[in-house]
Amino acid sequence: MSALPLDETGDVLIKPLSAHIGAEIHGVDLTHPLTPSQVSAIRAALLKWRVVFFREQFLSHEQHVAFSAQFGELTVGHPVFGHVDGHPEVYSIAKHRKATRFEGEPIRRPWSGWHTDVTAAVNPPFASILRGVTIPPYGGDTQWTNLVIAYQKLSAPLRGFIDGLRGVHRFTPPPGAAATSEFVDAVQRRSLVSEHPLVRVHPETGERALYVSPTFLKHVVSLTARESQALLELLWEHVTRPDFTVRFKWEPGSLAFWDNRSTAHLAPTDIFDLDFDRQLYRTTLVGDVPVGPDGRASVSIEGSPVEAAAAFALN
């Protein structure tokens, strides 16, 4: 019988959760500053496993921000939908967020709801750090997928075709649903539209990731509407294959830290069939401008880059 695949780096214990993505990290207390070796071990695990999880970390907003700042510069909570009062770096992920709810029943497809955070911006966040506070006793799991392995598992001819393609990302309601007034007001106040490569070269590892956020990517540049639809639906179906994913069951005090450059994730919808409340809080770290295999960087069509929270507070 083989041993459990654990990786011990000093006092940091890393426990992988699936073949391609996800690991739990034990042996650290996130309420206090980490040592340089702990920061290094966590960052290495993030690059390898794409999303890492911590349990029983009961952080305040201030401690959440302090933990996040050890890995990069924090953005404002959300560049379009705001932040928690008094905490410009923190965004509330509540069960009934008015700004991101829609009217009507959206068309449900296998990839519905999957997304990479804020890809409508020209410099999407490098990472997102989500903290569970009020958690249902069951339901409400979040899933992540590995966009690097998804790219690698495509056929060589298809990889060669999409390596030079680019797509337009923006905030819009899902197909079949209508925007609420809160959503329209928020998007009009801070319109963000960007053109990104369909394949992104990871700035730290050099790996290629299939950068096709299903919620935000609307069409492929230079293709006809039908060609674009067919290609994107093929890619979206591919990136959400179960064998590329990990599913996380939240508990109070759980924390998920994911690399936004190489993952997409799916927020739960089963919580709306339950009477339980659900409240999480997220911070994000300032990201760079994506670059494709051809060396071409993303470009902004509308809006400006996502600012650091410190810069946002001065405006």
**Which residues are catalytically annotated?**
115, 117, 265, 282
The 7-9 sheet, strands edge to edge: 7-9, 12-16, 23-26, 51-54, 255-259, 127-134, 279-285, 91-94
Non-local CB neighbours of 258 within 8 Å, separated by 6+ positions: 46, 50, 51, 52, 127, 128, 144, 265
What single-letter DSSP state applies at residue 256? Answer: E
Backbone angles phi, psi at 69, to 5 degrees: -65, -15
Under 8 Å between Cβ of 261 and 128: no
Residue with tokens 């034990």: 26
Find out whether 152 and 263 touch, Cβ atoms under 8 Å.
no
Q: What is the CA radius of gyration of the chain?
A: 19
Burial class (CB in 10 A: 0-12, 13-18, 19+), 121: buried
Give the Cα separation of 206 and 314 in Å (integer): 35
Integer CA distances (angstroms), 210 to 167, 268, 281, 296, in order: 12, 23, 27, 15
Sequence-ordered alpha helix ranges (H) in the chain: 36-49, 61-69, 147-152, 156-162, 181-189, 225-239, 309-314
Contact of 289 with 297, CB cutoff 8 Å: yes
Query: How much of the chain is in helix, strand and coil states, percent to nearest 5?
Result: 25, 30, 45
- Please, how many CA atoms are within 13 Å of residue 202, restricted to the half-sphere of its CB? 22
